[in-house]
Structure 1
Amino acid sequence: MRRDEFTEMRAFLEVARERSFTRAAVKLGVTRSALSHTIRALEERLGVRLLARTTRDVAPTAMGERLVQSIEHHFEGISAEITALKALSDKPSGHVRIVCPDDAIELVFRDRLKPFLREYTDIQVELIVDNGFTNIVERQYDAGVRLGEAIARDMVAVRIGPDVSYSVVGSPEYFERYPVPESPQDLTTHNCVNLRLPTSGGLYAWEFQEYGREFSVRVDGQLVYSNIGSAVDAALDGMGIAYAPTDLIRGYVNDGHLREVIKDWCPTFQGYHLYYPNKRNHSPAFSTFVDAFRFRLGTGY
């Protein structure tokens, strides 16, 4: 079918449905005279009269009604397919690459990824674990994840989780062999599981607070890891005391596998934030990801 034939058929069908040249012209976005000319050209080409015109009404003739029955379902099918294709084109798709510390996967992403991926089946999410201060621009990541106070000022920061509190924990087996510390300073005599900072190469100094004063304690021990998950596992195995996000160890504390100590000194930090360069042309997939994981007060995440 040529394009002009398609236009004529669509115009005829609209007039037959509306039973008015005026209303059909408005729906088609053409003038009434142009529409009348199109229908006349169609009738002349087919050699039959398709519409019976009166001063008050327009109705299909017998031949016109036959043509309506023949072509209507085809145009409805075309319209439905166009709508479906538009819906697909409006659906975000693409690859999102995020670098984050290992505990953020458990605390921020794990519970929320499942419904997100189910809703947006054309988006692929790649989470790269790195506990250092990664240069996301140089490494070509879409965004990184850090606690709020650690974000550079030249970055856009979107909060994706509630405040994060930290705990000092050890297993009952460990505390059968060593006295329970009563202050952060007592930790210097314990076998503590250290965390190596990938960026600086140094060991992380455990942070505490007392009466609004913040301070750090450098601990020592036989084990050093580069991720918090392994440090928690070491504490569970009775090999030392670990310093980890409270939500990460809460289940182990509740079931008695770990014991929290010196809780009054343990700090709370601003929640995890997604940070990324301030540029205009973010992909639809990334924008959808940011909006889905944005922290909303009162929802728990």
Structure 2
Amino acid sequence: MLRDLLPHLPVVLAVARRNGFAAAAAELGMSPSAVSHAVRAVELRLGTPLFARTTRSVALTEAGTALLGAIAPAMRDIEDALERQGSAAGRIGGVLRINAPRIALPLAITPILAALARRHPELVVEVIADDALTDIVAAGFDAGVRLGEMIAQDMVAVRLTPPFRTALVASPEYLAARGEPKTIAELSQHNCIGYRLLASGAAYAWELREGGKDVAVDVAGSARVTDALHARELALAGIGIAYLFVPLAAAELDAGRLREVLPAHAIEEPGLFLYFPRRAAEAPKLRAFIEAVRDILP
């Protein structure tokens, strides 16, 4: 029984991780029908459904959740053992899955991937751009990237960037037409490019400093986005004032395409960190990534 089921277990894990048969098939390089057949074979042998299927969604059943809770750590241990064996032979390969917010891609991830492509050409780094504060363990990621203040205490954290300020920025054309706010209260008279938080669905209140204290400021305007890079583009187009991390706007500020307003009210963020469960630190693929971080990033 065990010998028959073992080849199908990675397929079951992929369906759970990808929340669908088609997505799992694409990841595994299999046809959707082959994926469905593998899952069905496990379900028939165990005598219970692992997934509740509808035309629009796939979700784990109670039995499926219990099975994955038991086999997922064992499968990770097997993968880690095989990767360590390859590392001992001078090879680092496999797939390293990282969950990261979009802002981390230009600030940290791109130079690391460039270095890893040269150092370890057999290693595939799969980066999922995600601003929704996903649970990386439950979603099957090896590591994630977040601001330092958002990382759980039981995770190991490795710094990727120095601390950086936030900035309120707008184009010279917008400021010439609408004037420059002199106080936080005057933001209510301006077209502010807002953010919608993917995790909660709430509108983001801008975090600023006033009177030596952090304050949350509700803003309004004609545009609301989920991506800071898009907010930057809208500010460059003269639509309104955007709230950005300074590294994302540094080139535009230096060139005069954007101007900072209310700089005295900016806050400082702790910077971006790579984070992962303590047990994951032994995986050669993750160690290779961390080595590249320490060699390349300032």
Tell me the TM-score normalized by structure 2: 0.67
Rounded Cα–Cα distance in structure 2 between residues aligned with 1:281 and 1:150: 20
Rounded Cα–Cα distance in structure 1 between residues aligned with 2:106 and 2:118: 19
Equivalent in the alignment of 1:146: 146
Equivalent in the alignment of 1:220: 220
Per-residue deviation, residues 120-157 of structure 1 (Å, max 9, x unmatched): 11111111111121111111111111111111112221
Equivalent in the alignment of 1:15: none
What secondary structure does 1:128 align onto? Answer: strand
What secondary structure does 1:176 align onto? Answer: helix
What secondary structure does 2:89 align onto? Answer: helix
* Structure 2 residue runs without a partner (length 5+): 1-85
Q: Structure 1 pair 214/281, CA: closer, same or farther in 2 (3 Å)? A: closer
Equivalent in the alignment of 2:263: 263
Rounded Cα–Cα distance in structure 2 between residues aligned with 1:177 and 1:266: 23
Equivalent in the alignment of 2:101: 101
Q: Is the 8 A contact 2:234 2:240 kept in 1?
A: yes
Rounded Cα–Cα distance in structure 2 between residues aligned with 1:210 and 1:116: 43
Q: How does 1:83-232 map to 2 (within 5 A)?
A: 89-210=89-210, 212-232=212-232
Q: Is the 8 A contact 2:280 2:286 kept in 1?
A: no
Q: Structure 1 pair 185/111, CA: closer, same or farther in 2 (3 Å)? A: farther
Equivalent in the alignment of 2:291: 291
Q: Is the 8 A contact 1:162 1:300 kept in 2?
A: no
Per-residue deviation, residues 229-275 of structure 1 (Å, max 9, x unmatched): 10100001111110111111111111111111111111111111111
Q: Is the 8 A contact 2:112 2:289 kept in 1?
A: no
Rounded Cα–Cα distance in structure 2 between residues aligned with 1:149 and 1:104: 15
Rounded Cα–Cα distance in structure 2 between residues aligned with 1:129 and 1:239: 26
Q: Structure 1 pair 149/283, CA: closer, same or farther in 2 (3 Å)? A: same
Q: What is the root-mean-square deviation in Å for CA atoms of aligned residues?
A: 2.1
Q: Which moved more, 1:193-202 or 1:156-165?
A: 156-165
Q: Structure 1 pair 291/280, CA: closer, same or farther in 2 (3 Å)? A: same
Rounded Cα–Cα distance in structure 2 between residues aligned with 1:159 and 1:254: 26
Rounded Cα–Cα distance in structure 2 between residues aligned with 1:300 and 1:139: 27
Q: Is the 8 A contact 2:171 2:237 kept in 1?
A: yes
Rounded Cα–Cα distance in structure 1 between residues aligned with 2:116 and 2:205: 36
What secondary structure does 1:117 align onto? Answer: helix
Q: Structure 1 pair 280/265, CA: closer, same or farther in 2 (3 Å)? A: closer
What secondary structure does 1:131 align onto? Answer: coil
Letter of the structure 2 residue corresponding to residue 292 of structure 1: A
Q: Structure 1 pair 226/89, CA: closer, same or farther in 2 (3 Å)? A: same
Q: Structure 1 pair 100/300, CA: closer, same or farther in 2 (3 Å)? A: closer
Equivalent in the alignment of 1:240: 240
Rounded Cα–Cα distance in structure 2 between residues aligned with 1:174 and 1:126: 39
Instruction: Quote how far apart the aligned CAs of 1:88 are.
Output: 8.4
Instruction: Quote how far apart the aligned CAs of 1:115 are.
Output: 2.2
What secondary structure does 2:191 align onto? Answer: coil
Instruction: Quote how far apart the aligned CAs of 1:283 are.
Output: 2.4
Q: Structure 1 pair 103/280, CA: closer, same or farther in 2 (3 Å)? A: closer
Per-residue deviation, residues 49-104 of structure 1 (Å, max 9, x unmatched): xxxxxxxxxxxxxxxxxxxxxxxxxxxxxxxxxxxxx9982221111111111111
Letter of the structure 1 residue corresponding to residue 237 of structure 2: D
Rounded Cα–Cα distance in structure 2 between residues aligned with 1:114 and 1:300: 12
* Structure 1 residue runs without a partner (length 5+): 1-85
Instruction: Quote how far apart the aligned CAs of 1:174 are.
Output: 0.9
Q: How does 1:42-57 map to 2 (within 5 A)?
A: none
Q: Structure 1 pair 207/250, CA: closer, same or farther in 2 (3 Å)? A: same
Identity of aligned residues (%): 36
Q: Structure 1 pair 242/87, CA: closer, same or farther in 2 (3 Å)? A: closer
Structure 1 segments of 4+ aligned residues over 4 angstroms from their partners: none
Rounded Cα–Cα distance in structure 2 between residues aligned with 1:136 and 1:93: 21
Per-residue deviation, residues 198-248 of structure 1 (Å, max 9, x unmatched): 111011111112454211111111111111110100001111110111111
Q: Structure 1 pair 280/269, CA: closer, same or farther in 2 (3 Å)? A: closer
Rounded Cα–Cα distance in structure 2 between residues aligned with 1:230 and 1:190: 19
